[in-house]
Structure 1
Amino acid sequence: MKQSEAAEISVPLAVRLLLGRAAVQVIASDAGADLLHIKGNAVDTSLRVREAPGTDIDVMARPTHVPRLHDELVRHGWVVYSSFRYGSPFGHAQTYRHPDWGYLDLHRMFPGIRLDPEAAFDELWRDHGTRDFAGTDGAVPSLTGQAVLLVLNDVRSRRAARAIATWVDRPGLDRSEVSALVERLDARVAFAAATGDLERYRGERDYRLWKGITQGSTRTGEWWARVRAARTLPEALGIVVRAPLANVERLTHQLGRSPTRAEVLRATAMRPVRAVRELVAGVRRRVRS
Structure 2
Amino acid sequence: MNDEPPVLDPRTSAELAHAEIAHLLALAGVPTLAIKGPTVALWLYPDDTRSWGDADVWLPPHRMDDAVAALGGHGFTEVHPGVDHHTSEDHAVVLQRPVATTGGGEVDLHHRFPGADADPERVFAVLWGRRERTALGHTPVWVPDRSTRALLVVLNSARTTGVAQAEEDLRRVVAPDDPGGLPGVDWEDVVDLAVRVGALPALRAGLDLDPGGARVVASIPRLGAATASREWSLRSSGASRTAVRLAELRRVPPRERARRLVRWVVPHPAVMRMRDPRTVRGRGALLAGYLRRLGQGARELPTALGELRRVRRR
| TM-score above 0.5 | yes
Return the alpha-carbon distance in structure 1 between the equivalents of residues 142 and 185 of structure 2.
19
Pick closer, same or farther for the CA change 1:76–1:253 going to 2, 3 Å: farther
Partner of 1:260: 282
Query: After alignment, is 144-153 or 255-264 more displaced?
Result: 255-264
Partner of 1:238: 259
Pick closer, same or farther for the CA change 1:21–1:183 going to 2, 3 Å: same
Aligned length: 278
Partner of 2:189: 177
Return the alpha-carbon distance in structure 2 between the equivalents of residues 283 and 154 of structure 1.
24
Contact persistence 1:87–1:95 (CA under 8 A): no
Amino acid in the other structure paired with 1:105: D
Deviation string, structure 1 residues 204-239 (Cα, Å, up to 9, x no partner): 8xx221122112333432221222232x34543332
Note the 1:1-289 alignment, pairs <5 A: 6=4, 10-43=7-40, 45-48=42-45, 51-82=49-80, 83-85=83-85, 89=89, 91-98=90-97, 99=99, 100=101, 101-159=104-162, 161-162=167-168, 163-169=170-176, 170-196=182-208, 207-230=229-252, 232-233=253-254, 235-245=256-266, 248-249=270-271, 251-252=273-274, 255=277, 258-280=280-302
Return the alpha-carbon distance in structure 2 between the equivalents of residues 283 and 34 of structure 1.
41
Aligned residues with identical type, % of pairs: 26
Return the alpha-carbon distance in structure 2 between the equivalents of residues 282 and 28 of structure 1.
41
Contact persistence 2:278–2:285 (CA under 8 A): no
Return the alpha-carbon distance in structure 2 between the equivalents of residues 132 and 284 of structure 1.
49
Once the two structures are TM-superposed, the CA of residue 183 in structure 1 deviates from its matched residue by: 1.9
Return the alpha-carbon distance in structure 1 between the equivalents of residues 126 and 35 of structure 2.
15
Amino acid in the other structure paired with 2:175: V
Amino acid in the other structure paired with 2:157: D
| Secondary structure of the structure 2 residue equivalent to 1:51 | coil
5+ long unaligned stretches in structure 2: 177-181, 209-216, 218-222, 310-314
Once the two structures are TM-superposed, the CA of residue 129 in structure 1 deviates from its matched residue by: 1.2
TM-score normalised by length of structure 2: 0.76
Amino acid in the other structure paired with 1:152: L
Return the alpha-carbon distance in structure 2 between the equivalents of residues 234 and 33 of structure 1.
32
Amino acid in the other structure paired with 2:43: S
Partner of 2:213: none
Contact persistence 1:42–1:131 (CA under 8 A): no
TM-score normalised by length of structure 1: 0.82
Pick closer, same or farther for the CA change 1:52–1:20 going to 2, 3 Å: same
Return the alpha-carbon distance in structure 2 between the equivalents of residues 72 and 96 of structure 1.
12
| Secondary structure of the structure 2 residue equivalent to 1:58 | strand
Greater relative contact order, per chain length (Cα 8 Å cut-off, separation 6+): 2
Amino acid in the other structure paired with 2:198: D
Query: After alignment, is 92-101 or 37-46 more displaced?
Result: 37-46
Amino acid in the other structure paired with 1:12: D
Return the alpha-carbon distance in structure 2 between the equivalents of residues 227 and 55 of structure 1.
33
Partner of 2:179: none
Return the alpha-carbon distance in structure 1 between the equivalents of residues 185 and 241 of structure 2.
37
Contact persistence 1:47–1:167 (CA under 8 A): no
Contact persistence 2:243–2:305 (CA under 8 A): no
| Secondary structure of the structure 1 residue equivalent to 2:93 | strand
Return the alpha-carbon distance in structure 1 between the equivalents of residues 114 and 59 of structure 2.
14
Pick closer, same or farther for the CA change 1:191–1:86 going to 2, 3 Å: same
Return the alpha-carbon distance in structure 2 between the equivalents of residues 283 and 223 of structure 1.
11
Return the alpha-carbon distance in structure 2 between the equivalents of residues 256 and 17 of structure 1.
32
